[in-house]
Homo-oligomer: A and B are copies of this chain.
């Protein structure tokens, strides 16, 4: 290749051929061919480092050689979240039209900071998409034809849910205390605080409090309900206890927490927010996908009462990263950080960069969601969401009936948490004197981690591994015990019976490997030679 060929600028047979091969490589990855039909071909971090570690190259590498290396290392050892045996996260990202749209957006390389010279038609595609999302949520929305200024848009694309949540809290804070923007927080005579619910709080809200200069000490922590949802009454009690200097400004509805995906009762929370004049933000990064389903949208009712909503199509809507949106009910509030105030009063000003704090130049990431909605319609997307829900129900039921696991949560959505605790172990626990409970928790954790890591490293079946409290005392040894739990999220709408069968058989087979030693450990609680600290870093818990 000549240096001139490094840049695409003319029809070029060779370049077209290479890109077609990239498509083939991508499809072979998704189909499983390139990874021996495993979720991943596991390598230790040492092995992975050895594959990648390299001095800063002075000379280049021939493209064919480079792409062979990419296939043999990067593609081969990536994890396939889209595989049906990948049950850790919902982020499957393999919508056909979504991938097609995202590929096209790379070539187009529009800059959504500005309409003229940056993104003439892309700007309107994004504004239309945001209006559809507003309609979906139940906010007032505009026909694109009636939008004559960026001030009326009322939503923005972001890179992910953490960012969307941060933007919402930023806007909430500045709506309640408009002087902060110019004078800073020191100008306030009160102390803005926020109430978060333990266990189901998302880390993004803690980071937001830190980054906004409010400080994580000013988070008021509140207990959750035992079904892993926010307790409106408990929150109100916390609000009543606040000293007069502490000013809560926002209440968060968790519409699908990232641990168990349980969905808050948004209407109850709204009433508290309304009563105390708080901004009501709904984190629907997970739950937002349910809005497409006629039968399931009931689970997020009350979302229309919110002042802002975060939605992550790259989580529940089968799109590749990045795709997240934050919607602000009153579009005016999303203009608080507008740039170029002198231009801002003009009509026919459509530069999205004018209203997006922290986002300047950025690509045409809304093309894929626009295409997804157009290709499937709400009807088709709703059908996919319904199918996923049904797949989830079937899979959890099948796993339940094995009596290998104890489920700590009964998800009303797409995620379950459970520990590895075969029937025989459960029997032993039932007979056990309560004085021994403290000793068995590390053992249950140890074998759950071992079991989960075994599956992960085999590449056969991937669950998440995270910390979960047994609020409902499903293990029968206390309501406040925290376990290393396996997380199962059904992201894929179609897991056919044969695959479910494979999942079941694999879990049983793996259990057989550990049952004997598990039993032995439970019977020899006082064995001083046995330590139950799981130290396998190559498959450490994720716990996000």
Report if A474 contacts B (CB, 8 A).
no
Q: In the assembly, what is the distance between CA of A423 and CA of B217, in Å?
A: 66
From 519 to 534 in chain A, residues with beta carbon under 8 angstroms from any chain B beta carbon are: none
Q: Are B89 and A53 in contact (CB under 8 A)?
A: no
Query: With A and B bound together, what is the CA distance between A119 and B48 in angstroms?
Result: 11
Question: Which of A42, A92, A93 has the most chain B CB atoms inside 10 A of its CB?
Answer: A93
Q: In the complex, are the beta carbons of A66 and B16 less than 8 A apart?
A: no
A6 lies within 8 A of B124 (CB): no
Contact with B along A339-359 (1 / 0, CB 8 A): 110010011111101000111
B-contact bits for A306-339, CB 8 A (1 contact / 0 none): 0000001011001011100000000000000101
Interface size class of A (residues with CB under 8 A): 35 or more
List the 4 shortest-distance A-B pairs measured between CB atoms, nearest first: A184-B215, A213-B213, A26-B107, A321-B363
Alpha-carbon gap, A373 to B58, bound state (A): 9
Stretch touching chain B among A109-117, A268-276, A394-402:
A109-117
In the bound assembly, the distance between CA atoms of A79 and B119 in angstroms comes to: 6
A82 to B109, Cβ gap below 8 A?
yes
The answer to whether residues A121 and B15 also contact, given A63-B375, A187-B215 and a CB cut-off of 8 A, is no
Query: B7 and A117: CB pair below 8 A?
Result: no
User: Which B residues lie within 8 Å of A132 (CB)?
Assistant: 56
Instruction: Quickly give the copy total for this chain.
Output: 2
Stretch at the interface among A29-37, A229-237, A428-436: A29-37
Interface status of A378 (Cβ within 8 A of chain B): yes
Q: Is A27 an interface residue (CB 8 A)?
A: yes
A494 touching B27, Cβ below 8 Å: no
A98 vs chain B, min Cβ distance (A): 9
Quick check: is A492 within 8 A (CB to CB) of the other chain?
yes
- Interface positions, chain A 31-47, Cβ under 8 Å from B, are 31, 33, 40, 42-43, 45
> A216: CB under 8 A from chain B?
yes
Q: Which of A248-256, A295-303, A379-387, A509-517 is near enough to bind chain B?
A: A379-387
Task: Name A19's closest neighbour in chain B (CB-CB).
Answer: B23
Interface check A191, CB cutoff 8 A = yes
Other-chain contact of A63, B19, B88, B97, B144 (Cβ < 8 Å): B97
Binds B, one of A204-212, A411-419, A437-445, A500-508: A204-212
Which of B15, B184, B315, B347 makes the CB contact (< 8 A) with A213? B184
In whole Å, how far is A442's beta carbon from the nearest beta carbon of chain B?
A: 16
Interface string of A216-234 (1 = CB under 8 A from B): 1110000000000000000
* Least Cβ–Cβ distance between A455 and chain B, in angstroms: 11
Given contacts A25-B104, A163-B359, 19 further A-B contacts (CB under 8 A): A5-B96, A15-B27, A19-B27, A19-B99, A40-B120, A45-B115, A51-B124, A60-B374, A66-B374, A81-B109, A93-B106, A117-B464, A180-B215, A181-B216, A204-B358, A213-B214, A321-B361, A322-B363, A348-B540
